[in-house]
Amino acid sequence: MTARIIDGKTIAAELRAQVAGEVARVRRDHGLTPGLAVVLVGNDPASEVYVRSKHTQTQAAGMASFEHKLPAEVSQEHLLALIAKLNRDPTVHGILVQLPLPKRLDTETIINAIDPAKDVDGLHPHNAGRLAGGFAALAPCTPLGCIILSKSVHTSLAGMNAIVIGRSNLVGRPLLQLLLNENATVTIAHSRSRDLAKLCAQADLVYAAVGKPEMVRADWIKPGATVIDVGINRLPTAAGKTKLVGDVAFAEVSQVAGAITPVPGGVGQMTVACLLVNTLRAACAIAGLPKPAV
């Protein structure tokens, strides 16, 4: 058996086109241009790549993009003052502080300072709590992307056995909540879980979000299962370059799974597309407009 490859690149492009259509509509009918502010502290190369991609894709969707690059030595007070300014700015509807922040800075305090209505990362406790309560909320972008990719294979996830490997605030925990909202039966596994292979073997849906290169092996996977790989690990090659691999051993797992996301070209593409969705939704909510069609 060879798995169907879930084409995140194409699905993300379709989503971005839908967002661009809705952005054009709200601008034409309501004079509203959604705006996203991204704050980057320091010059971590991987973060710089993500932030550049967010900037380009935000503009391509017809939204306003505001980049704030701060030196690694920036003080907590300065960063909090910038967030307060963005909270007040009527042209900004979404605020994203790129993580991880330098250790010196208190990430929790900084995330908590973002206006929950503009928290397009879905990390503020207001949104995390609402999501956990099953209420409407801005949800983190990568888990939203995982759900869309899963639903490109299965029209309904109701009653399916899902396992989420990893319990981070950015992926594992919110993904658990989104899967529950889809009426899946969810197991969340982590570094202390016993017999991960056995837990995985019962799952129709496997989400790997641990940051361990090629950890999930073929003999863990129920034949025909859908495997969504959230990992983006950079490994050195013999030629002195780096290659990207996921948390799933793609070559062998794709022989057992029914459908699988590649790395790159899977979940990674969806994260920014979902950020655009969240920014559009936040802009409409702040302006008192009905929910957009995407």
Identified binder of ligand GUN from the candidate list 65, 127, 142, 261, rule CB under 6 A: 142
Does residue 132 interact with ligand GUN by CB under 6 A?
no
Q: Which stretch binds ligand GUN (CB under 6 A): 26-34, 97-105, 112-120, 234-242?
A: 97-105
SS3 39: strand
Pair type for strands 185-189 and 4-5: unpaired
The one-character DSSP state at 248 is B
Does residue 99 interact with ligand GUN by CB under 6 A?
yes
Does residue 141 interact with ligand GUN by CB under 6 A?
yes
- Please give the residues from 160 up to 179 whose contact with ligand GUN meets the rule CB under 6 A: 170
Does residue 70 interact with ligand GUN by CB under 6 A?
no
Concatenated DSSP letters for 276-293? HHHHHHHHHHHTTPPPP-
Concatenated DSSP letters for 1-32? --PEEP-HHHHHHHHHHHHHHHHHHHHHHH--
Closest CA to 170 of 140, 129, 126, 147: 140
Does residue 204 interact with ligand GUN by CB under 6 A?
no
Identified binder of ligand GUN from the candidate list 98, 152, 261, 278, rule CB under 6 A: 98
Q: Is 98 a catalytic residue?
A: yes
Q: Which is nearer to ligand GUN, 67 or 252 (CB)?
A: 67
Closest CA to 266 of 98, 120, 145, 140: 145
> What residues line the site for ligand GUN (CB under 6 A)?
96-99, 121, 141-142, 170, 271
Instruction: Please give the positions annotated as active site.
Output: 54, 98, 121
